Structures are given as C-alpha cells and as structure tokens.
Amino acid sequence: MIFITGDTHGDFTRIERFCERVQPSAQDTMIILGDAGFNYYGGQRDLAAKQRMARMPLTIFSVHGNHEMRPETIPSYHLTEWRGGRVFAEDSFPNLLFARDGEVYDLDGTQTVVIGGAYSVDKYYRLARGYGWWPDEQPSGEIKARVEKALADRGWQVDAVLSHTVPLRYVPTEVFIAAIDQRLVDKSTEEWLGSIEARLRYRHWYAGHFHTEKDIDRLTLLFESVREFSV
C-alpha cells in the first residue's frame, strides 16, 4: 500500500508510530510531501536521521521541499529507476528515495507527476543565523521545462500530482504569519503551478509546505496526519 503525509522536518515520530500500529512491509511506501529533513545539516545529524528511517520496514519517498538541499547537488546520490520513473537514491540507504521533479511514477496504477520546491518565507531569518538556505529551493527554468514536457508528452493528463507548495489560488491565506509582509514573498512557483493546474486534467493533487490540513476541491494539504494515498 501507499501512504502519504506532510512535512516532517527531521521529526519522524509519526512515521515510527504509524509503523508500530500498521506493521507495513518492504512493498509499502510512505510519501513525504517535502521538507523531510534528511538533507538539511549536511553532516552527522543528517546521517543519524537517515539511519533512523533506514530501519523502517517500508520505502520512504520524498518530494523536494524548501528546507533541504537538492539530492542532485549531493555526491552520494545517484539516479535509479523506480516505479516507471527515476529517483535519487544513496547506496547506503536504498529505502530512502527522493523524487526527481518532472518524473511521472506509477504508484500502484496511479500515474503521478511530482513537482517539488517552494520559496522560504524564513529565508532571511535563516541566513542571519547561519542556518541552511539554498538558492535552488524553487524550480529552475530547466526543471519547469522538464515538468511541462513530461505533461505535454502525456497530453496534459495524469491521475495525481504531488507537490510541495500549491497553485496560487489554493494558497491557504488563513495560516499566513502576521509578522511577514506578503508583498515581499516570492510567489512565482505558486503562479507557475497555477498555470500548470489550469491546463492539466487530473484527479487529485496533494501538497504540504503550509503546515496545515485542508481539503478543497480536488486538492489536499497535509501536515501531521498520515493518509492512504488515493485519487
């Protein structure tokens, strides 16, 4: 079976509890919708997180978020085939996989495109304190072109979308942080996803990023809950 949850930011307690309760197998998959927390520190702390989750009896499949390095920039990752698409993997942790933006995966018969990345509203807070921030957090022009080509090749039709942020019209403004001036927030990724959503025929769209739970139209925002992946 395939399950799905929102950002974990290195706190995998909910996944461990889920495994204790459900007893999944190696054939099962847990999707994390970005900001998993495996590639934030770039050292021993990341290694400890990976070792912790490598013991889980299922595959962890992560979308790229905005609080982590892209796997393609880390030498230990390589591309490998998985469920009809390519993923980033490390030989030491074969059950911890990262989606490649623009790939379409066959998730138990559900044709699913992945589009990661987002803008960090805490960018300057992190920079001021020496915390990790990476300028490639949002999709580049190359990634956007790859996504659009993959969808065009399929006649702009898939079953499901997995993204980190959401199309602009679905941004949950009710959870905005009052201290942040939204006029300074780069919404270009949300605007681009909006243009994708306007053209795309799909059955359901899942996203994380906003640390809230919400179902609206055919879109689901997830944070701390774990659901069965379905369309």
Three-point CA angle 46, 207, 92, nearest 5°: 25
Model confidence, pTM:
0.97
pLDDT digit string (tens) for 123-170? 999 999 999 999 999 999 999 999 999 999 999 999 999 999 999 999
Exposure of 46 in the CB half-sphere (CA atoms within 13 A): 20
At 179 the pLDDT is: 85
pLDDT averaged over every residue in the chain: 97
The domain spanning residue 148 has which CATH number? 3.60.21
Assess whether pLDDT exceeds 90 at residue 57.
Answer: yes
Domain membership of residue 170 as a residue range: 2-228
Outline where the chain has alpha helix (H). Answer: 13-22, 44-54, 123-128, 141-153, 188-199
Contact partners, residue 157, CB within 8 Å, separation at least 6: 200, 201, 202
Task: Name the residue type at position 120.
Answer: S
- Where does 135-176 have alpha helices with state H? 141-153
**pLDDT tens track for 184-230:** 899 999 999 999 999 999 999 999 999 999 999 999 999 999 999 99
Q: Is 228 exposed, middle or buried (0-12, 13-18, 19+ CB in 10 A)?
A: exposed
User: How many domains does the chain divide into?
Assistant: 1
Task: Return d(Cα 165, Cα 116) in angstroms, integer.
Answer: 7
Residues with Cβ within 8 Å of 100's Cβ and at least 6 positions away in sequence, in order, are 72, 79, 85, 86, 87, 88, 114
Alpha-carbon distance of 106 to 110, in angstroms, equals: 5
User: What does the pLDDT read at residue 223?
Assistant: 98
- Contact status, residue 100 vs residue 81, Cβ threshold 8 Å: no
b/e burial code for range 166-181 (CB count within 10 A of at least 16 → b): bbbebbbeeeeeeeee
Question: Could you read off the pLDDT of 102-115 as tens digits, one per residue?
Answer: 999 999 999 999 99
Q: Which residue reads 């942080």 in tokens?
A: 177
